[in-house]
Amino acid sequence: MTWSEADYRRCLELERRGYAWVMERHGGMSSAQAQQAALECYPYEPADDPYRGLVFHEESWHWAMLAIHGHHYAVEHPELVDPPPEYRALR
């Protein structure tokens, strides 16, 4: 995908915000811990990185659910497959 630096940074910030929100509300992390987890999950990638933004192929809800509940979260917790309206409002 080709995007401007501004578009990349905007997407990065949105995904970090969503990830941190999930980690606080569903993962039991403090705000500071959730922010740190989001930075670790979504590090800045240089423009010349050939896989820049690959993590964006799934939204932050999915990555956070994997971190909290594991790879079978959709089977074990089907109620968590779709994010709630509060998460969607972050976008």
Q: Give the pLDDT band of residue 1 (cuts 50, 70, 90).
A: low
Report H helices in the chain.
Answer: 5-25, 31-41, 60-69, 73-76, 85-88
pLDDT in tens, 53-75: 899 999 999 999 999 999 999 99
Q: Are 58 and 45 in contact (CB under 8 A)?
A: no
Q: DSSP character for 83?
A: P
Residues above pLDDT 90, as percent of the chain: 90
Question: What is the sign of the dihedral through the CA atoms of 64, 67, 68 and 69?
Answer: positive
Report which residue type is found at 64.
Answer: A
pTM of the predicted model, to two decimals? 0.93
pLDDT band at 3 (very low <50, low <70, confident <90, very high): confident
For residue 16, what are the CA distances in angstroms to 13, 66, 72, 77?
5, 15, 23, 23
